[in-house]
Structure 1
Amino acid sequence: MHGQPKVLGIVLAGGEGKRLWPLTADRAKPAVPFGGNYRLVDFVLSNLVNAGFHRLCVLTQYKSHSLDKHISTTWRLSSVLGQYITPVPAQQRLGPRWYTGSADAIFQSLNLVHDEKPDHIVVFGADHVYRMDPAQMLAQHVETGAGVTVAGIRVPRAEAKAFGCIDSDATGRITRFLEKPADPPHVPDDPEVTFASMGNYMFRTSVLIDALRADAADPDSMHDMGGDIIPMLVDANTAAVYDFDDNDVPGATERDRGYWRDVGTLDAYYDAHIDLVSVHPVFNLYNQAWPIRTATPPLPPAKFVNSGHAKESIVGPGSIISGASVHDSVISCDVTIEDGATVEGSVLLPGVRIGKGATVRRAILDKNVVVADGARVGVDTEADRDRYTVSAGGVVVLGKGVRVEDLTR
C-alpha cells in the first residue's frame, strides 16, 4: 500500500426508508435483510472492503440498533493493521439535534476526519444492490485532480427523472447537477441516455471540509450531499463524473455487469429479489472473485423432506421445506414451510413459518411472520389490502411477527 493515497470511507446509513415500510417499521433501511442472508449495507461494505478501503465509518441515526449490532458483530477487520468499520451514531456534537441532512451528518462527524487525516474521503450510500470496484473510481479521481468525483450510471433519459442527473462535457467535467429534472440532460456520446447519480462520491479532503463549513453556515440549505454540496462544487468548477460503465469488477458476468438497483421502494426491493433466482441471474450472488460478505448464523443446511421441493429459488440454511411447493422465491434462513403449502414469487425473511396447506403468492413476509394452516396471502389482493400493506405493483407485504389466520374457518 506504499505511496497509495490515504482514504477514509464514510457510509451514509441514517436512512429512514419510509417507502419500504413496514420493513423499516423496526429497523433502518440499510439493515433491511436482502437476498436470503445479507442486509442491504453488506453490499456497499463488501465493495469498499474488497477494493482495499479498510477504514470505514458508518453514520447511523434512525432505529439503528439492528444495523449497529450487525456491523459490530459481522464486520470485524484487523485492528493490528489499523483497520476498522465502526458505526457512528448521531453524536450531537454541535448541540442537541439530530442530523438535518446527509451533509450535516458528515459535518457533525468531522472529528473522524480530523482524527484520521485522510487525503481523500469516499462517501457512499448504504442502500443499493450492486457490485463496484471503488478503487478504479479513486484512481480516476486522483488522476484528474477533481475536488469531487460523482459516480454516474447510464439510464434511459425517460427513466432519469427520478434521479439526480449529471450534465457533463466530453472531458468528464460536470457542468450541471440537477435533482429530478423534468427534461434530463444526455451524456456526451448518446442522446438517449443520462448519467444518474449513484449517490457515491469521492472528495479531496480539504474540498469537502470547506464545502461542509460553507453549507453549515447557509440558513437556506437543506444540508444534503446531492442537493447542496455537489451543486456547490459544480459551480466551483471542480466536479467530475465517473462512468460506472468503465468499472470492471473481477468475476462479473456479461449479464450482471453494471447491475445497480436502488431498492428504496417495496416494488424495487421485490424486483431485485426476483432478479436473483433466474437460471442466469441478473445479479449473480455466486461471484467468488468479488464476494458479497456477511455473517451467516450457525444453522444446519436446508432440508427438503416428504417430497418438498423448490424450483428457481434460493433457500437459506436452517430452512425446512416439508411436503411443500416453492417456486420463484427467495427463502431466507430458518424458515419452515409445512406439508401441502404453496409459496410462489415471494420473499420470506428469517424465521417465517408457513403452516400446512397455506398459500403465499407475490408477497414479502418480514421476520417471524406466521401463516397459519390453510391461510392465504396474496390470493385475494383486495382482501389483503384491508389488513396489510400492498405495494403499487400488487405485492403484499407483512411486517415483523404478524400472524395470518385462516379466515375461511
Structure 2
Amino acid sequence: MVLVSNGAEPCTGPRLRVSVALVSRQPRVLGIVLAGGEGKRLYPLTADRAKPAVPFGGSYRLIDFVLSNLVNAGYQRLCVLTQYKSHSLDRHISQTWRMFGFRGEYITPVPAQQRVGKRWYTGSADAIFQSMNLISDDDPEYIVVFGADHVYRMDPSQMVQAHIESGAGVTVAGIRVPRSEAKAFGCIEADESGRITQFLEKPADPPGTPDDPDVTFASMGNYVFSREALVEAITADAENSDSDHDMGGDIIPAFVARGEAAVYDFSDNKVPGATERDAGYWRDVGTIDAFYDAHMDLVSVYPIFNLYNRQWPIRCENDNLPPAKFARGGLAQESMVGAGSIVSGATVRNSVIGANVTIGDGATVEGSVLMPGVRVEPGAVVRKAILDKNVVVGRGQILGVNLDRERERFDVSAGGVVTVGKGIRIG
C-alpha cells in the first residue's frame, strides 16, 4: 500500500482538464496504493516476492506503473506500505524511487507495523484502517486508493477532478471488458447521471451494459474518496465482525447502498503522448496467461501498449548497465532486449529479454519472457516460456516444445505457457 500526497500546491500542464475557477488551488490529495498482495495465481513468480514486485517488460516491476502515474500527475509524497514477502519490493522502492528531497516530498517503503492490535492486515480495508495515523497526519481533502498490480497509463488528477464535480462520497474507475472475462472483477451498473446503482464483487453471472449485453463495466480497483466519507466507512467496517474488510466486497457496496458512489469512465482519461492504438490500455496481469499476453502486447512494431511515450514516462530502475550487445550474427526480431544483455550467434523472436541476459551461439528464443540474469547456453531452444531471474537453460536443452514433458517438471498454464521459477538450472 502506498500513501501519496501532492500537498496543496497547484499542478500545471496540459494534462489537467479543469475549469478556470478550480485551477487557482489544487486540492490536497493523499493517495493510497494497495501493494501488499500475495498474487497466488502468479506462482511461481510470487514464490519469493510480493506481486507488485514481479518484474515486467524487461526493465520494470509492476508497481512502477501506478507510481509513475501518480508522480506524473503531480502526487509526490509517497509512503509505500508493504506486507507479504516485501524485501525485494522495499529495496526496489528505496533504490528506484529515491527522487525527491524538496518541499517535504519523499517516497519511502514502510512495512506493516501492527499499530492496531497484534495482527497483520486481514483485508484491503483493514490495511487502510491500520494506517489511519498517516491520513490524520497528512490532513487531506481527498484520498486516492489505487491498486499496484495493473499495467496501464492514467492521469489520476482527471479522476480526482471528476470526483469533486460529482459530489459523491466515492468515485470508482470503470472500464469495459468482455462479459466472459468479468467474473474476476467488481462489476458496475450505473444510471445516466453516473451514479452507481449496483456493485457486484466478482459475480458468477456478470451483467451486460445497456448498449451491449456482451460487455461488462468492470471496476479497475481504483477509487477516489472524500476524506470524511472514507474515514467513517473504514471505521464502521472495522467494527463489523461479519465483514471481510475488503474494499471491493464491503466498502464500495456500502457507499452504493447509500447512493453515494459515482463511476469514472476510464475511456475519458486522456494521457499526453498516448497513441491511438494504446489509448485506454489496461491489463490485469493476475494470472500467468494474462502476464504473458501483456508482454506480447509490447513487442510488435506498433505495440498495443507503447512503453516509449516520453510525455508520460514509466520510471524504472537504472543500474548503469552498458547497452545490449549483438555478436556473431546474433539477431532479434519483434523483441525488446534489456541493457547489459548479450545475444551471441543466437536468434530471438517475439520476446521480451530483461537486463544482463546471455543467449549463446545457436540458441533460439521465441515468444518468451526472460527476466534479468537468465542464461541460455549454446544450442538451447526456449519457446512460449517465462523464465524468472537467474534461470539457466543448459547447452542443447529444449524448453516449451513438448508440453506433456514440461508438466512433469514445471508449471504449465491453461494457455500453454511454461513458467520456470527463480534460479533453477535446466540440464
Alpha-carbon deviations, 1:26-48, whole Å to 9, x = none?
10000000001000000000011
Letter in 2 for 1:123: V
Please, which of 141, 151, 162 is the counterpart of residue 129 of structure 1?
Answer: 151
Alpha-carbon deviations, 1:122-180, whole Å to 9, x = none?
00000000011111101100111111000000113333222110111000001111012
Distance 2:100 2:40 in 1: 35
The equivalent residue for 1:4 is 26
Please, which of 131, 143, 147 is the counterpart of residue 169 of structure 2?
Answer: 147
Distance 1:271 1:368 in 2: 22
The equivalent residue for 2:130 is 108
The equivalent residue for 2:207 is 185
Letter in 1 for 2:203: P
Please, which of 283, 287, 293 is the counterpart of residue 305 of structure 2?
Answer: 283
- Say if 2:89 is the partner of 1:67: yes
The equivalent residue for 2:374 is 352
1:58 shift after superposition: 2.3
Distance 2:213 2:194 in 1: 16
- Say if 2:75 is the partner of 1:46: no
Distance 2:33 2:403 in 1: 38
Please, which of 251, 255, 264 is the counterpart of residue 233 of structure 1?
Answer: 255
8 Å CA contact 2:168–2:262 kept in 1: the answer is: yes
- Say if 2:413 is the partner of 1:391: yes
The equivalent residue for 1:301 is 323
Moved more, 286-295 or 69-78: 69-78
1:189 shift after superposition: 4.8
Alpha-carbon deviations, 1:260-314, whole Å to 9, x = none?
0000000000000000001110000011111111122111100000001010000
Distance 1:384 1:377 in 2: 7
Letter in 1 for 2:31: G
The equivalent residue for 1:375 is 397
1:187 and 1:83, CA in 2 relative to 1: closer, same or farther beyond 3 A?
farther
Letter in 2 for 1:64: S
8 Å CA contact 2:100–2:107 kept in 1: the answer is: no
Letter in 2 for 1:266: I
Distance 1:42 1:326 in 2: 26
The equivalent residue for 2:220 is 198
Please, which of 43, 50, 55 is the counterpart of residue 21 of structure 1?
Answer: 43
For structure 1, the residue ranges without an aligned partner over 5 or more in a row are none
Within 5 Å, give how 1:334-353 maps onto structure 2: 334-353=356-375
Letter in 2 for 1:314: M
1:373 shift after superposition: 0.6
The equivalent residue for 1:160 is 182
Letter in 1 for 2:32: I
> What TM-score, normalized to structure 1?
0.97
8 Å CA contact 1:7–1:55 kept in 2: the answer is: no
1:88 and 1:236, CA in 2 relative to 1: closer, same or farther beyond 3 A?
farther
- Say if 2:274 is the partner of 1:252: yes
The equivalent residue for 1:94 is 116
> What TM-score, normalized to structure 2?
0.93
Letter in 2 for 1:159: E
Distance 1:206 1:346 in 2: 48
Please, which of 72, 80, 104 is the counterpart of residue 102 of structure 2?
Answer: 80
Tell me the secondary structure at the aligned position of residue 387 of structure 1.
coil
The equivalent residue for 1:215 is 237
What percentage of residue pairs aligned between the two structures are identical?
A: 72
1:60 shift after superposition: 1.0
The equivalent residue for 1:364 is 386
Distance 1:178 1:273 in 2: 30
Distance 1:177 1:19 in 2: 24
Distance 1:384 1:329 in 2: 20
Tell me the secondary structure at the aligned position of residue 70 of structure 2.
helix
1:76 shift after superposition: 2.1
Query: Between Structure 1 and Structure 2, how many residues are aligned?
Result: 405
Distance 2:412 2:381 in 1: 17
8 Å CA contact 1:54–1:77 kept in 2: the answer is: no
1:77 shift after superposition: 3.6
The equivalent residue for 1:315 is 337
1:183 and 1:387, CA in 2 relative to 1: closer, same or farther beyond 3 A?
closer
Tell me the secondary structure at the aligned position of residue 374 of structure 1.
coil
Tell me the secondary structure at the aligned position of residue 408 of structure 2.
helix
1:188 shift after superposition: 4.9
Alpha-carbon deviations, 1:187-240, whole Å to 9, x = none?
455444321000000001111010000000000100000000001111121110
